[in-house]
């Protein structure tokens, strides 16, 4: 159901501050920890002695010690030592390629021989000091593709997020979907409308009037396996919309990294990157709080949707023009899955 020969966001660096972290990704139970010199490592969450979860262990001097009988595991999946035992013949456990980059820990759950850190997409906002970022993570009990569908069709904002970013003009504006290689782009532009509450707050945060008409845009970009970056913003009406000079607009990138856990659950890493007033920590916190509320509203809807679908597996769903972004994204995923199946059969 999910590609494995690819990079997923596994966790955030602060989750590895002191203890090992157990996390299931693409059906694989893993434990993440910092090895010698702070380098991130990921191995199977399984002690080869008695099968205890290594994530219940502890760290000392960059070594992972099983919390059951003290076996010490290296980041390469080889046993380092164990009190009173010779470990030369102990079996190894699987290790997973892991990389720390752009403020996230990334993992490759598939064939380690194919892992190449250069395949991690460049994120300019994560390395450029002219940008600020704030975000978080949710565990959501629904299939990861439902979240992709949700993010590639923002029509739902009018109904799910009516008190923050939703407004009727979203329904009324035409939506355009195109495929560029293995990227799907869905866009919507709205002109001469009043900004909803979240964007009024963002305009004030950039020292702009919030009680005047604006031009608004939403450009959703899906990149396999499950990354959706959404360019969003508003500009004072008549100043050029998406192309307006920065002095007339408040714009951001909504960051969505969706990491499958099981067939019906995923880890959702969310946030917003902005390129106005990047040093304003209070503004970053305010935007993060607003985004957190918005994404929690999605969570309830998606989990209930998954429950309905699980109880009615034979029901056919409609595919409308507003669903084109999600439909095209799924076609790309299906193609990748077929390619992986072909590799396994060789």
Binned at pLDDT 50, 70 and 90, residue 61 comes out as confident
State the average pLDDT over residues 218-236.
97
For residue 245, give both structure tokens: 């000079």
Taking the C-alpha atoms of residue 293 and residue 198, their distance in angstroms, rounded to an integer, is 11
For residue 345, pLDDT over 70 is answered with: no
Q: What percent of the chain lies above the pLDDT cut of 90? A: 90
Binned at pLDDT 50, 70 and 90, residue 311 comes out as very high
Give residue for tokens 């659950």: 265
What mean pLDDT, rounded, does the chain reach?
95
What does the pLDDT look like over 87-120, one tens digit per residue? 888 999 999 999 999 999 999 999 999 999 999 9
- Residue 37 is predicted with a pLDDT of 84
What is the model's pTM?
A: 0.95
For residue 19, pLDDT over 80 is answered with: yes
For residue 344, pLDDT over 80 is answered with: no
Per-position DSSP letters for 31-82, written without gaps between them: EEEE-GGG-EEEEES--TTT---GGGSEEETTEEE-TTT--EE-TTS-EEE-
5 against 346, higher pLDDT: 5
For residue 136, give both structure tokens: 């978080």
For residue 48, pLDDT over 70 is answered with: yes
What does the pLDDT look like over 257-272, one tens digit per residue? 999 999 999 999 999 9
Q: What percent of the chain lies above the pLDDT cut of 70? A: 99
Taking the C-alpha atoms of residue 123 and residue 106, their distance in angstroms, rounded to an integer, is 13
- Residue 182 is predicted with a pLDDT of 87
Taking the C-alpha atoms of residue 28 and residue 5, their distance in angstroms, rounded to an integer, is 13
Taking the C-alpha atoms of residue 97 and residue 126, their distance in angstroms, rounded to an integer, is 21
Buried-state track 316-326, b at ≥16 Cβ within 10 A, e below 16: eeeeeebbbbb
For residue 79, pLDDT over 90 is answered with: yes
Reduced to 3 states (helix: H, G, I; strand: E, B; else coil), residue 237 is coil
286 contacts: CB under 8 Å, gap ≥ 6 = 201, 205
Taking the C-alpha atoms of residue 323 and residue 230, their distance in angstroms, rounded to an integer, is 16
- Residue 218 is predicted with a pLDDT of 98
Binned at pLDDT 50, 70 and 90, residue 78 comes out as very high
The C-alpha angle 196, 132, 118, rounded to 5 degrees, equals 120
State the average pLDDT over residues 267-291.
95
- Residue 68 is predicted with a pLDDT of 94
Binned at pLDDT 50, 70 and 90, residue 137 comes out as very high
In order of 11, 55, 80, 134, 140, the CA distances from 271 in angstroms are 13, 27, 39, 5, 16
- Residue 60 is predicted with a pLDDT of 83
């Amino acid at each position: 159901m999910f590609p494995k020969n690819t990079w997923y966001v596994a966790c955030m660096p602060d989750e590895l501050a002191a203890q090992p972290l157990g996390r299931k990704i693409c059906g694989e139970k893993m434990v993440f920890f910092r090895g010698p010199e702070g380098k991130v490592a990921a191995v199977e969450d399984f002690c080869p002695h008695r099968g205890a979860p290594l994530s219940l262990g502890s760290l000392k001097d960059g070594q992972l010690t099983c919390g059951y009988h003290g076996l010490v595991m290296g980041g390469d999946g080889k046993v380092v030592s164990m009190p009173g035992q010779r470990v030369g013949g102990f079996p190894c456990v699987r290790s997973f390629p892991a990389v720390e980059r752009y403020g996230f820990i990334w993992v490759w759950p598939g064939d380690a021989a194919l892992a190449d850190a250069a395949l991690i997409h460049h994120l300019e906002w994560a390395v450029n000091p002219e940008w600020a970022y704030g975000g978080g993570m949710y565990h959501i009990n629904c299939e990861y593709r439902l979240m992709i569908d949700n993010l590639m069709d923002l029509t739902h904002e009018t109904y799910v997020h009516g008190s923050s970013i939703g407004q009727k003009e979203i329904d009324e504006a035409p939506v355009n979907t195109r495929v560029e290689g293995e990227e799907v782009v869905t866009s919507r532009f709205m002109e001469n409308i009043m900004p909803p509450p979240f964007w009024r707050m963002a305009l004030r945060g950039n020292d702009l009037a919030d009680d005047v008409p604006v031009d608004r845009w939403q450009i959703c970009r899906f990149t396999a396996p499950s990354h959706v970056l959404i360019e969003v913003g508003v500009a004072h009406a008549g100043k050029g919309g998406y192309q307006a000079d920065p002095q007339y607009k408040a714009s951001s990138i909504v960051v969505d990294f969706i990491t499958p856990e099981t067939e019906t659950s995923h880890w959702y890493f969310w946030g917003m990157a902005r390129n106005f007033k990047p040093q304003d920590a209070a503004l970053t916190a305010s935007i993060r709080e607003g985004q957190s509320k918005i994404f929690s509203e999605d969570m309830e809807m998606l989990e209930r949707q998954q429950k309905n679908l699980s109880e009615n597996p034979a029901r056919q769903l409609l595919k409308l023009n507003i669903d084109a972004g999600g439909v095209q994204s799924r076609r790309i995923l299906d193609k990748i899955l077929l390619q992986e199946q072909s590799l396994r059969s060789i």
